[in-house]
Structures are given as C-alpha cells and as structure tokens.
Amino acid sequence: MKKENIGIIKPQIFKFGNNDALQLDCGKKLENVEICYETYGKLNDKADNAILILHPLSGDAHAAGIRNAEDEKFGWWNEMIGPNKAFDTNKYFMVSSNVIGGCSGSTGPRSINLETGKLYNTDFPVLTIGDMVRAQHKLMQHLKIEKWLSIAGGSMGGMQVLEWAVSYPECMESSIAIATTSRLSPQGIAFDWVGRQAIMNDENWNSGEYYKNSPEGGLSVARMLAHITYLSEESMSEKFGRNLQKTEDYSFGFDKDFAVESYLQYQGNRFVERFDANSYLYITRAIDYFDLSRRTKGDLAKAFEPVNSPMMLISFTSDWLFPPSHSQEIVKALIKNEVDVTYCNVESSYGHDAFLLEVDVLDKLVRGFVDNQYKSNSNE
C-alpha cells in the first residue's frame, strides 16, 4: 500500500479556564488557557479509534501534513502519521497538541495575561509535566473522547505518556513511550541548566522582559548544546568526521573551521526563528522536575501501580541522553506490577534522534502494536 502525506492541516484552539482554572503543581492556578491542537483522520462512531500524539521539547502541535499550500515543511512526525503509515489515518483519529508553556499557540510565558494586559514573561507560573497532562485531559473531555486507543510520544513526549499512564489509567487502552525516562538524570539536569544560563546571561534577555530584541544568541547556544545530546559519537563521526568546512587548512582563528561547527550554528539559527527563549526556560525546567518515583519515595514500581493497560517501550542502543537502561528500569517496574509490557531496544547509530529518524523500524513496531490493540478491543 502506498504511503501518502495528509496534505493541509489547520490548527485549532481550545479555550478553558474562565470558570475552571487549571490547578498547577506549584500551587498556583492558570486561567484563560488556550491549547493549540491539530487532528488527523476521522473519529469513528464509537469514538474508540483516537490516538494522542505527544511532542518532544522542540516540537509542537504540528505533527503531520503542511499548514498551507506554500508550506514546504511537514510536521515533525510526518513520516509516522498519514494514510497507510504507522499511525494510519485511514483507520485512526490522531490528536496532537502544543503543551502549555509552549510558544506555538498554547498559553505560555509570551501569552497575554488578561489580568494585567501584558505578556506573562517570567510572571508565568513554573510548570511540570503533570500540569501539561492535566491540560491535555481537559482537551480530551472537550473532544468527547472517553478513552484513547493509545497514547504515544518520544523523549519529552514519552515523559507525558508515562504521566498519563499513572495519572489517568482509566483513559487509555494502551500507550507507547519511546526514547524516554521515568526521571531526568543529573547529567540531563546539568545540560538544561547550562542551556538556561546561556539564555539568562544574554544581554537581551532582560530578566525575561524582552520585546524588540530577544536573546537569540543565548537561545541559539542552548539549542546547540542540546542538539549535541541528541546525536551519538558514531553518527557525528559518520556525518562530519573532522572535515573542514571551507578551507583546506586550519584558519588559526576562532571562526567555523569544522563542518560540525557550521552544522551546530545552522541548527541554532533555525531554532531561534521558531522558538521562544522564555518557553525554553519553562519547558526544560518541567523536564528537570519530572520524576515519577518522587511521589513514592524512590519506589518506581509503586509509582506504576495505577497502570492497567498494555504498554510498549522502545529505546535505541546509541541514545546516551536517555539510554536503554532507563527504559529497562521502567520495564522491570511494570513487570513487577504484572503489566502487559512490550520492550524493544533498537540497534541504531542515530543517538537520541533515532525516535525521529528510524522510521522504518518504528513503523513496523508501532503499527503492529496499535493494530493489535484495536483488533483486541473490537473483539471484546
């Protein structure tokens, strides 16, 4: 069967919080909330074919298709979502939303605080992954979906999958967590700290009160640092080696001599065109705070006790940001609770980015898992 792209997708906005404020883990409440989301495929009459797609740090609601006829950039998981793809829009109804705290249509630090008429900036409350999931649950209720057929995401999206599984186990038939962890490691926290420091030490950050001149330099450095963690040594060696960018010899200066330096600068420059520095601060802090075992005093198996539906875990051999051992720890905790769990450690040289690049392998794994869940539920 031929795989096709789904074409033009228009973002939608769901508003809530006027009379039903979102209670946050920090103790504050968030009112007048907007969530930007997209949908792909059609919800069937039983409303039992819905799948929630959860994005990584640098992603957003635009997971597949294009926004307009002139748009040449497909959504971040376009190779996985569409007719006859892993998340087959001929069968399933997909929902993808931008997390709160984001900068792509959902309420975040660069949104207007209706109480003051000004941008929130750093007056925006500090968020957690749990807060993001509670907002998504309100979107689920708005869409009148009683139960997701599955919930899927990679990296930070995988963290949200795990949070959904323990916070709303009654709301899903299955879940898929890819290249993720149950708690951010000290190394991950350290990388996030340095990235935030790069932003906050940019002269244009101005304690978050930037308007005409944003801290693009700091955000670019933060992105370059983070991007290094997404790659593996093998993939960087294969792609760049010690190749020089333009000259046949060293410049004996401090501009870009090596191809890898030019690549990182390109990634940093592209990122500042579409992402907000304050949102980067808030989202990385939410990732830092993510620790499912914290609520059970370090007992991960106890944290997963609410999980009562099949779960698939996928890791990648060269991922050193969220290595296979993190997924294996989750698998052991689930098995201890007698959860139906499927685990695959995929051989890949792409590093953490494999969850975006190993499409052929992911297609087979995800397609089989989701189709089996759908058939199983239909036969009940």
Give me 374's structure tokens: 């759908």
Model confidence at 99: pLDDT above 80: yes
- Please report, for residues 27, 99, 102, the alpha-carbon distance to residue 33 in angstroms, rounded to integers and kept in the order given: 17, 11, 12
Per cent of the chain over pLDDT 70 is 99
Model confidence at 145: pLDDT above 80: yes
Asked if the domains at 12-183+291-379 and 192-281 fall in one CATH topology, the answer is: no
Q: What is the pTM of this model?
A: 0.96
pLDDT at residue 376 in the model? 83
pLDDT at residue 201 in the model? 98
Model confidence at 160: pLDDT above 60: yes
User: What band does 230 get if pLDDT is binned at 50, 70 and 90?
Assistant: very high
pLDDT at residue 360 in the model? 96
pLDDT at residue 19 in the model? 83
Domain map (residue ranges) of the chain: 12-183+291-379, 192-281
pLDDT at residue 248 in the model? 80
Model confidence at 247: pLDDT above 80: no
Angle in degrees, 0-180, between the axes of helices 156-167 and 129-142, rounded to the nearest 10: 70
Span 72-94, pLDDT tens digits: 789 999 999 999 999 999 999 99
Model confidence at 380: pLDDT above 70: no
Active site residue 352: yes
Q: What is the mean pLDDT of residues 105-118?
A: 95
Nearest by Cα to 319 from 236, 245, 254, 230: 230
pLDDT at residue 111 in the model? 97
Architecture of domain 12-183+291-379: 3-Layer(aba) Sandwich (3.40)
Span 22-67, pLDDT tens digits: 999 999 999 999 999 999 999 999 999 999 999 999 999 999 999 9
Secondary structure tally for the chain: helices H, strands E: 11, 14
pLDDT, mean over the chain: 95
Span 186-205, pLDDT tens digits: 999 999 999 999 999 999 99
- Are 81 and 75 spatial neighbours (Cβ–Cβ below 8 Å)? yes
| Nearest-angstrom CA–CA distance, 69 and 110 | 28
Residues 6+ apart with CB under 8 A from 159: 129, 153, 180, 181, 287, 290
Q: Which of 150, 155, 175, 182 is catalytic?
A: 155
| CA contacts within 13 A on the Cβ side of 260 | 15
Residue whose entry in the numeric block shows the structure tokens 């350290």 = 190
Active site residue 20: no
Model confidence at 11: pLDDT above 60: yes
User: What band does 70 get if pLDDT is binned at 50, 70 and 90?
Assistant: confident
Q: How far is CA 244 from the centre of its chain?
A: 33
| Nearest-angstrom CA–CA distance, 85 and 126 | 37
Span 302-359, pLDDT tens digits: 999 999 999 999 999 999 999 999 999 999 999 999 999 999 999 999 999 999 999 9
Q: Look at strands 87-88 and 29-30 and give their pairing.
A: unpaired
Fold observed for domain 192-281: Rna Polymerase Sigma Factor; Chain: A (1.10.1740)
Model confidence at 242: pLDDT above 60: yes
User: What band does 379 get if pLDDT is binned at 50, 70 and 90?
Assistant: low
Residues 6+ apart with CB under 8 A from 281: 109, 122, 196, 199, 200, 208
Q: How many residues does the chain have?
A: 380
- Are 268 and 223 spatial neighbours (Cβ–Cβ below 8 Å)? yes
Q: Which of 55, 319, 348, 349 is catalytic?
A: 319
Q: How far is CA 235 from the centre of its chain?
A: 22
Q: Look at strands 50-54 and 150-154 and give their pairing.
A: parallel
